[in-house]
């Protein structure tokens, strides 16, 4: 992690002189929708990266943007970029701030470009089965609008209520149903954007000839362009869903089940395998669905984890390895599957999966674990700060790995992090080649040492994962958090990225520092 500058939370530095000089021009560009108020600057200074909460406990905050602007059209975005180029001011495209890697932190100040006024959604084109959505459209708004007419994107990130179409594109978002409906890059048929040069671009519909410029811009995290609009595939709302939970004797058996399932051509929309520790506490994710089946009774409660941690912390501080070792006594791994689409096909696929899991010795838990998961799927993202209030910290760490490396990545990350924090993991977003690993960790440190402990955990976790063969990130993006790791992983490829940067953003104004650019 790069060394990050912070400023006092209670006394933000004034906007820079070049920014203030540009204010009149910017106001002209966006019809007066410019702010330099400290309240606004503070709001745009952070995203959901937990490091921001650790800073907050220290009374600090990342450097805020100098100004915030709210353009409402491509023309206005072009005008803002023209001003920024002339004045050499950073431009930070901003969706809804759900990022967890510092992708919108204004490390060098500049202009936060809030895109939420670009909020048009076209009617669905039923012949082409596509919808056009502006970059500032919120995920939940879009899915609700589509659902009213019987459609869905099938994109359901847990940030659904606080993320935008533009943000999804910028960070290569994956929704919880990606194994069936694809990641955002698979859902897009074309994009519109304004480059760092100020030029507009609209990419051709697939299939097409020549280089794929859309796929080049997707994932660029604001460093090359501002997305303005996307044409996205839509699907009819599922006619039916089939739910199932299974307990496997070991994590390895559960992973094997997913691998075999995908290789046999089954495509569950939801596939989530919990490691033994997470399995022990996963049962009550949705307290409002009652159950009397003993197989689904949780041993621990996820809700209670932070509380438990606070109780145990004084005893285990500096040696959370104890609880991690206790956790390793658990062996069972729970798999949650949902098949959806045409009703009979969903049932057929569910039946095939059942046969396959039985062959691997799994216990069939019936539909309830999966139904519970679905009902609670958006509950998690808003609950993190309580942990921090209690003096601890928590974060999630996600990567992907090929099937033959998944277990090793898991073991090595756990071994590396265990001395410093509690570690849980689940496996989801499966592919023919592998799947993603999604670690959660909860830790604490003596007062004043939280940041150091937090950064240590990240460093060793990323290092363990990468040396065991994982990639840098599955769907949380890179931002500042993983900039160094991406740099290392790209090897020679980083020249190609630098070239793109120099060409699409010749003045280096676009979201500086992100992706290591």
Nearer to a copy of itself, 191 or 374 (CB): 191
Nearest approach, Cβ of residue 174 and a copy of itself (Å): 8
495 binds a copy of itself (CB under 8 A): yes
Residue 359 in contact with a copy of itself, rule: CB under 8 A: no
User: In 3-state terms, what secondary structure has residue 235?
Assistant: strand
End-to-end CA distance of the chain: 14
222-241 residues near a copy of itself, rule: CB under 8 A: 224, 233, 236
Q: Cα separations (Å) of 98 from 46, 102, 153, 234, 477? A: 10, 10, 19, 24, 11
| Residue 218 found at the interface with a copy of itself (CB under 8 A) | yes
x-or-dash string of contact with a copy of itself, 280-319, rule CB under 8 A: ----------------------------------------
Q: Which is nearer to a copy of itself, 265 or 448 (CB)?
A: 265
Q: How far is the CB of 152 from a copy of itself (least distance, A)?
A: 14
Nearer to a copy of itself, 402 or 419 (CB): 402
Nearer to a copy of itself, 418 or 430 (CB): 430
Q: Is 345 in the site for a copy of itself (CB under 8 A)?
A: yes
- Which region, judged by CB under 8 A, interacts with a copy of itself, from 125-133, 139-147, 274-282, 292-300? 125-133
Q: List the structure tokens of 403.
A: 């099937």
Q: Cβ distance 429 to 179 under 8 Å?
A: yes
- Shortest Cβ 128–a copy of itself spacing (Å): 5
The angle formed by the CA atoms of residues 328, 334 and 338, to the nearest 5 degrees, is 155
Q: Phi/psi at 459 (nearest 5 deg)?
A: -60, -50
C-alpha to C-alpha distance for 407 and 253, rounded to whole angstroms: 11
The residue within the footprint of a copy of itself, chosen from 130, 163, 179, 371 (CB under 8 A), is 130
CB 437 within 8 A of CB 469: no
Q: Is 265 in the site for a copy of itself (CB under 8 A)?
A: yes
Site residues for a copy of itself, window 162-191 (CB under 8 A)? 171-172, 174, 183, 185, 189
Answer for the pair 478, 488: CB distance below 8 angstroms, yes or no: no
Q: Which of 8, 433, 446, 467 binds a copy of itself (CB under 8 A)?
A: 433
Q: Find the binding residues for a copy of itself in span 366-405 (CB under 8 A).
A: 400, 402-404
Residue 445: phi and psi, rounded to 5, are -155, 160
Shorter beta-carbon distance to a copy of itself: residue 139 or 154: 154
> Which listed residue (14, 311, 358, 432) binds a copy of itself by CB under 8 A?
432
72: contact with a copy of itself by CB under 8 A: no
When asked if residue 209 is in the footprint of a copy of itself (CB under 8 A), the reply is yes
Could you say which of 54, 462, 497, 509 contacts a copy of itself (CB under 8 A)?
497
Minimum Å gap between C-beta 80 and a copy of itself is 19
Distance (Å, rounded) from C-alpha 119 to C-alpha 66?
A: 24
- Decide if residue 460 touches a copy of itself (CB under 8 A): no
Given 102, 110, 219, 222, the residue binding a copy of itself (CB under 8 A)? 219
Residue identified by tokens 């993991």 is 425
199 binds a copy of itself (CB under 8 A): yes
**In the complex, least distance from residue 229 CB atom to a copy of itself, rounded to whole angstroms:** 13
One DSSP character per residue, 410-427 reads HHHHHHHHTTTEEEEEEE
Residue 268 contacts residue 241 (beta carbons within 8 Å): no
Q: Is 488 in the site for a copy of itself (CB under 8 A)?
A: no
Stretch that binds a copy of itself, among 287-295, 307-315, 342-350, 441-449 (CB under 8 A): 342-350
- Angle subtended at Cα 480 by Cα 436 and Cα 202, rounded to the nearest 5 degrees: 80
CB of 187 to a copy of itself, least distance (A): 11
149 binds a copy of itself, rule: CB under 8 A: no
Measuring CA to CA, which residue among 303, 302, 269 is closest to residue 374?
269
DSSP per-residue codes, 440-479: EEEEE-STT-HHHHHHHHHHHHHHHHHHTT--S-SSS--T
CA atoms within 13 A on the CB side of 379: 13
The nearest distance, CB 317 to a copy of itself, in angstroms, is 34
Contact region with a copy of itself (CB under 8 A), list: 35-43, 134-142, 457-465, 467-475? 467-475
Residue 394 pairs in a beta bridge with: 442
At closest approach, how far in Å is the CB of 339 from a copy of itself? 11
Among 428, 436, 443, which Cα is nearest to 395's?
Answer: 443
**What are the CA-CA distances from residue 423 to residues 63, 320, 439, 443, 490 (Å)?**
31, 9, 7, 9, 28
**For tokens 């997470």, what's the residue?**
278
């Amino acid at each position: 992690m790069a060394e990050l500058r912070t400023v006092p939370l209670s006394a933000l530095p004034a906007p820079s002189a070049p920014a203030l000089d540009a204010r009149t021009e910017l106001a002209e560009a966006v019809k007066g929708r410019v702010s330099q108020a400290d309240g606004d600057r503070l709001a745009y200074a952070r995203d959901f990266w937990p490091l921001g909460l650790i800073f907050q406990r220290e009374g600090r905050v990342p450097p805020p943007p100098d100004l915030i602007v709210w353009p409402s059209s491509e023309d206005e975005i072009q005008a803002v970029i023209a001003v920024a180029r002339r004045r050499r001011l950073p431009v930070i495209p901003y969706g809804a701030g759900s990022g967890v890697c510092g992708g919108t932190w204004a490390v060098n100040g500049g202009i936060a470009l809030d895109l939420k006024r670009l909020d048009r959604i076209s009617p669905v084109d039923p012949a082409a089965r596509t919808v056009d959505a502006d970059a500032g459209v919120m995920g939940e708004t879009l899915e609700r609008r589509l659902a009213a007419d019987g459609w869905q994107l099938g994109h359901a990130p847990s940030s659904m209520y606080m993320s935008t179409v533009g943000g999804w594109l910028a960070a290569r978002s994956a929704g919880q149903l990606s194994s069936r409906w694809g990641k955002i890059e698979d859902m897009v048929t074309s994009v519109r954007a304004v480059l760092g040069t100020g030029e507009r671009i609209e990419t051709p519909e697939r299939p097409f000839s020549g280089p794929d410029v859309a796929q080049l811009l997707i994932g660029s995290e604001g460093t090359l362009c501002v997305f303005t609009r996307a044409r996205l595939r839509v699907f009819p709302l599922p006619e039916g869903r089939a739910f199932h939970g299974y307990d496997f004797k070991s994590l390895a058996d559960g992973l094997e089940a997913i691998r075999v399932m995908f290789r046999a051509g089954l495509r569950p929309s939801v596939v989530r395998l919990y490691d033994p520790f997470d399995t022990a506490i996963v049962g009550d994710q949705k307290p409002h669905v009652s159950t009397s089946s003993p197989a689904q009774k949780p041993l621990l409660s996820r809700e209670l984890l932070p509380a438990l941690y606070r109780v145990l912390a004084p005893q285990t501080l500096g040696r959370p390895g104890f609880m991690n070792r206790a956790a390793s006594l658990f062996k069972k791994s729970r798999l949650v599957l949902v098949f959806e689409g045409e009703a009979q096909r969903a049932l057929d696929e569910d039946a095939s999966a059942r046969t396959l899991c039985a062959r691997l010795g799994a216990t069939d838990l019936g539909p309830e674990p999966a139904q519970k998961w679905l009902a609670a799927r958006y509950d998690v993202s808003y609950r993190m700060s309580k942990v921090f209030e209690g003096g601890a910290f928590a974060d999630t760490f996600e990567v992907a790995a090929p099937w033959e490396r998944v277990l090793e990545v898991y073991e090595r990350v756990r071994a590396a992090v265990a001395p410093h924090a509690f570690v849980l993991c689940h496996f989801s977003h499966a592919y023919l080649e592998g799947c993603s690993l999604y670690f959660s960790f909860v830790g604490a440190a003596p007062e004043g040492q939280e940041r150091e402990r937090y950064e240590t955990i990240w460093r060793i976790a990323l290092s363990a994962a990468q040396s065991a063969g994982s990639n840098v990130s599955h769907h949380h993006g890179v931002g500042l958090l993983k900039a160094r790791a991406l740099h290392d992983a790209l090897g020679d490829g980083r020249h190609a990225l630098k070239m793109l940067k120099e060409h699409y953003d010749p003045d280096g104004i676009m979201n500086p520092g992100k992706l290591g650019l």
